[in-house]
């Protein structure tokens, strides 16, 4: 990250750069595994989805059996086909509704563990989504905060907006002293301009400071 002197006019650009840096950091540090992510959805919500689905199927089947008027006109005398049709429709609708509810539960829990305002985000996703095809979720996945991650030097958990590790003073966003572009903590040479980072770079300097 560039560390040029701050100017008021730059603040918009700076917050945009910060946002992009957060997105890069999240992609670098977090692997998305569906099973692990699904685990944070509250169990009661999963159970509720199953119960609601079974209840809807039961009601649908009973109604089809009890009142012939509820069947489609061409299936009036064919109870078996009408039952299969209603179960199919309920399953399709139930699947979409369940997806929506489970993702809402996911956003609520995920926002909380990332230290974001979980109530506000859940509400936002709820308000945005039904009319516009899950757009709320897309916005959420784009803008959610990265999770705390272990410091590359001492494994102490550090926040995504930290610049230095509070435990060992490790530079968490080192930049090349020559070309000022972002580099990894483990780079020995700058990948952009081949600057030797161990001998006179900032990493080498901070390591030397630590040992003195
Ligand atoms: Zn550290
Ligand atoms: Zn460089």
Segment 157-172, tens digit of pLDDT:
898 888 899 999 888 8
Sign of CA dihedral 178, 179, 182, 187: negative
Q: In which band, very low, low, confident or very high, does the pLDDT at 60 lie, cut at 50, 70 and 90?
A: very high
Proportion of the chain above pLDDT 90, given as a percent: 30
For residue 36, pLDDT over 70 is answered with yes
Helices 79-113 and 118-128 sit at what angle, rounded to 10 degrees?
A: 140
Rounded to 5 degrees, φ, ψ at 189 are -130, 150
Residue positions counted in the chain: 212
The rounded Å distance from CA 185 to ligand 2 centre is: 13
Whether residue 202 contacts residue 172, with contact meaning beta carbons closer than 8 Å, is answered with no
pLDDT of residue 132: 67
Q: How far is CA 170 from the centre of its chain?
A: 27
The rounded Å distance from CA 201 to ligand 2 centre is: 10
Q: How far is CA 45 from the centre of its chain?
A: 19
Q: In which band, very low, low, confident or very high, does the pLDDT at 80 lie, cut at 50, 70 and 90?
A: confident
pTM: 0.71
pLDDT tens by residue, 172-185: 888 888 888 888 77
The residue written with tokens 């064919």 in the block is 78
Least distant ligand from the CA of 165: 1
pLDDT tens by residue, 1-11: 444 444 445 56
The rounded Å distance from CA 152 to ligand 1 centre is: 7
The rounded Å distance from CA 151 to ligand 1 centre is: 5
For residue 200, pLDDT over 60 is answered with no
The rounded Å distance from CA 164 to ligand 1 centre is: 8
**Winning range, highest mean pLDDT, from 45-59, 63-77, 129-143, 164-178:** 45-59
Q: Which residues surround ligand 1, an ion (CB under 5 A)?
A: 151, 153-154, 156, 165, 167-168, 170
Q: Which two tokens stand for residue 206?
A: 């901070």
Least distant ligand from the CA of 206: 1
Q: What average pLDDT does the chain have?
A: 83
Cα(104)–Cα(98) distance, rounded to whole angstroms?
Answer: 10
The rounded Å distance from CA 171 to ligand 1 centre is: 9
For residue 136, pLDDT over 80 is answered with yes
Query: Stretch 100-113: mean pLDDT, rounded?
Result: 92
């Amino acid at each position: 990250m560039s560390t040029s002197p701050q100017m008021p006019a730059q603040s918009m650009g700076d917050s945009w750069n910060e946002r992009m840096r957060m997105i890069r950091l999240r992609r670098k540090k977090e692997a998305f595994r569906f099973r692990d992510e699904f685990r944070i959805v509250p169990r009661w919500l999963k159970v509720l989805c199953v119960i609601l689905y079974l209840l809807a199927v039961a009601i649908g089947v009973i109604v089809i059996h009890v009142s012939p008027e509820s069947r489609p006109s061409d299936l009036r005398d064919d109870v078996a086909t009408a039952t299969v049709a209603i179960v199919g429709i309920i399953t399709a609708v139930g699947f979409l509704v369940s997806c929506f509810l489970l993702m809402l539960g996911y956003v609520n829990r995920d926002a909380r563990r990332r230290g974001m305002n979980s109530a506000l985000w859940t509400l936002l996703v709820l308000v945005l989504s039904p009319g516009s095809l899950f757009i709320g979720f897309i916005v959420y996945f784009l803008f959610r905060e990265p999770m705390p991650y272990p410091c590359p030097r001492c494994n102490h958990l550090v926040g995504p907006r930290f610049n230095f590790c509070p435990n060992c003073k490790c530079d968490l966003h080192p930049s090349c002293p020559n070309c000022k572009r972002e580099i990894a903590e483990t780079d020995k040479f700058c990948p952009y301009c081949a600057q030797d980072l161990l001998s006179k770079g900032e990493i080498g300097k901070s390591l030397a400071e630590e040992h003195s």
